[in-house]
DNA sequence: TAGTATTTTTAGATTTATCTAAAAATTAAA
DNA sequence: TTTAATTTTTAGATAAATCTAAAAATACTA
């Protein structure tokens, strides 16, 4: 049985390794988990001992298959609970993350399966993040940032790259929510801000915002 | 912020004190929490420090108003989650307790309120145990054990006093589930077993079982 | 009421997850 | 290719929750 702490480290390592690919260094784990590098060294020794990560001193860590499937399982639970909170309990998309951080550690395989069924086996959470299936497979989508689009390009808002309540509330207020169709009218050369057309209205967003909104072409 | 451990001690004290009335002694807390008396002494000092219990050395403990409302809040969550699991996720009544033991520690007042609304503000959980409202008030019912009934008495099965999966599965198999109307035909003097009439069928249960089934007259 | 049994508390250790400060290894720069 | 900067690991401490063994207090009994 893994502690919440261990699970949070594994999840951090997963996210930092860009979904399980590259090696992750000690300092970045420390930052992600709000701990110190020395604490991380202690913990990664323990996780390596448990067979969840590959660890060579000074070389950073990678997830083993066992660690990877643990991470994906936690992420599945996190995202399913977020769907539950939004779809069934009327939470807003900017309110669900902290509660899901708690719920993701509830242990019961049956519960996860039943919850997924209850929700209609959703493929994405309220932020457009993909929900892996029971076997840990993601049904990958090809999303691009608005900041990579050019005048004339069109698409549908399908995800975000930044999950802070502040940003999500801003999008909500501006009507830039998942499912909306947008077209890029112009990219301002000076500062990279982008003028969009959405529902026959022009909306200007900063380059920073444009980098964090994901579009399905 | 209270740890899961602290919450479990408070809940144990609540249950052992018969819903918050009498004083609870160290050994019984140790038994309930599967720890040793010495561990309990340490923990109750801490809980007293936090203002959750009244503690005088060698005199046992009682809940303060603050401790009482913490306990009731946890019990509310536990029972609401049990309703959720049975009503929405098709769990059986003998399968939900352990999962609810985890879910009862999730911290979010909004979540509890929304969950209660979502479930239609149920007054009782799948075992007939009362669910306190937001203010911690129980809508008390007057239930009696079948073992206290006499030949000729009738009523509706409305709760259980024993929550082990074994017992719940036995009731399920025998059809002795919540809402069923029963009549006592005879109480066997020899061993206290009880012959019931339910849906025109006779069912004999042991005195032990009769003590653990609760009836609304 | 004195003596015994039971319950509770204290004393001292252990495990987990964390920290600070210092040492060691790696990486970058001169 | 030395030297300096950065990163990582080790050493030693601390706080939380637990334990065993022993001491102290309370309760029971003859
Ligand atoms: Mn989230
Ligand atoms: Mn999300
Ligand atoms: Mn229960
Ligand atoms: Mn119950």
* Predicted local distance difference test score (pLDDT) of residue B125: 98
Distances (CA, A) of B54 to A130, B35, B70, B71, B209: 50, 21, 14, 14, 36
Collect all residues of chain B within an 8 Å Cβ-Cβ radius of residue A115.
89
Average pLDDT over residues A84-112: 97
CA atoms within 13 A on the CB side of B148: 11
Is the pLDDT at B217 greater than 90? The verdict is no
* Distance from residue A103's CA to the centre of ligand 1 (Å): 11
* Predicted local distance difference test score (pLDDT) of residue A140: 85
Contact A106 B91 (CB under 8 A): no
Is the pLDDT at A138 greater than 80? The verdict is yes
Distances (CA, A) of B113 to A94, B33, B80: 18, 28, 10
C-alpha span between A11 and A5 (Å, rounded)? 10
Task: Name the pLDDT band for A15 (thresholds 50, 70, 90).
Answer: very high
Is the pLDDT at B86 greater than 90? The verdict is yes
Average pLDDT over residues A9-17: 96
| Nearest one of B155, B171, B154 to B163, comparing CA atoms | B171
Average pLDDT over residues A45-64: 96
* Predicted local distance difference test score (pLDDT) of residue B123: 96
What pLDDT digit, counting tens, does each position of B126-163 carry? 999 999 999 999 998 889 999 999 999 999 999 999 99
| Distance of C1' in C20 from CA in A213, Å | 41
Task: Name the pLDDT band for A68 (thresholds 50, 70, 90).
Answer: very high
CB A157 within 8 A of CB A169: no
CB A68 within 8 A of CB B71: no
* Predicted local distance difference test score (pLDDT) of residue B21: 76
* Predicted local distance difference test score (pLDDT) of residue A63: 97
State the nearest Cα–Cα gap between A195 and chain B, in angstroms.
38
A-B interface: how many C-beta pairs under 8 angstroms? 36
Give the nearest chain B residue to A100 (CA atoms): B106
Average pLDDT over residues B15-26: 88
Give the nearest chain B residue to A105 (CA atoms): B102
Residue A157, beta-bridge partner list: A215
Is the pLDDT at A144 greater than 90? The verdict is yes
Closest in A89, A95, A111 to B115, CB measured: A89
| Nearest one of B176, B172, B168 to B198, comparing CA atoms | B176
Q: What is the Cα Rg of chain B in Å?
A: 19
Task: Name the pLDDT band for A200 (thresholds 50, 70, 90).
Answer: very high
Average pLDDT over residues A6-24: 91
B102 interfaces chain A, CB cutoff of 8 Å: yes
* Predicted local distance difference test score (pLDDT) of residue B140: 85
* Predicted local distance difference test score (pLDDT) of residue B203: 96
Is the pLDDT at A34 greater than 90? The verdict is yes
A31 touches strand C (CB under 7 A): no
* Predicted local distance difference test score (pLDDT) of residue A131: 98
| Distance of C1' in C12 from CA in B50, Å | 25
* Predicted local distance difference test score (pLDDT) of residue A36: 96
Is the pLDDT at A19 greater than 80? The verdict is no
Task: Name the pLDDT band for A9 (thresholds 50, 70, 90).
Answer: very high
Task: Name the pLDDT band for A166 (thresholds 50, 70, 90).
Answer: very high
CB B41 within 8 A of CB B30: no
* Predicted local distance difference test score (pLDDT) of residue A71: 97
* Predicted local distance difference test score (pLDDT) of residue A103: 97
Give the nearest chain A residue to B118 (CA atoms): A89
What pLDDT digit, counting tens, does each position of B31-72 carry? 999 999 999 999 999 999 999 999 999 999 999 999 999 999
Convert chain A into a string of H (helix), E (strand) and C (coil): CCCHHHHHHHHHHHHHCCCCCCCECHHHHHHHCCCCHHHHHHHHHHHHHCCCEEECCCCCEEECHHHHHHHHHHHHHHHHHHHHHHHCCCCCCCCCHHHHHHHCCCCCHHHHHHHHHHCCCCCECCCCCECCCCCCCCCCCCEEEHHHCCCCCEEEEEEECCCCHHHHHHHHHHCCCCCCEEEEEEECCCCCCEEEEECCEEEEECHHHHHCEEEEC
């Amino acid at each position: 049985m893994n502690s919440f702490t261990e699970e949070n480290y594994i999840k951090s390592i997963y996210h930092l390794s860009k979904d399980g690919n590259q090696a992750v260094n000690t300092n970045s784990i420390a930052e992600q988990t709000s701990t110190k590098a020395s604490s991380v060294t202690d913990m990664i020794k323990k996780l390596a001992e448990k067979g969840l990560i590959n660890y060579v001193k000074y070389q950073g860590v990678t997830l083993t298959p066992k660690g990877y499937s643990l991470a994906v399982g936690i992420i599945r639970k996190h995202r399913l609970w977020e769907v539950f909170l939004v779809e069934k309990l009327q939470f807003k998309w900017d309110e669900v993350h902290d509660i899901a951080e708690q719920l993701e550690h509830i242990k019961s395989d049956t519960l996860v399966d039943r919850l997924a069924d209850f929700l209609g086996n959703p493929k994405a959470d309220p932020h457009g993040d993909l929900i892996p299936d029971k076997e840990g497979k993601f049904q990958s989508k090809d999303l691009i940032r608005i900041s990579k689009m050019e005048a004339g390009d069109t698409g549908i808002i399908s995800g975000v790259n930044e999950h802070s309540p502040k940003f999500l509330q801003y999008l909500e207020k501006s009507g830039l929510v998942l499912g909306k169709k947008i077209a890029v009218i112009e990219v301002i050369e000076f500062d990279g801000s982008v003028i969009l057309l959405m529902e026959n209205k022009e909306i200007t967003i900063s380059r920073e915002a444009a980098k964090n909104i994901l579009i399905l072409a």
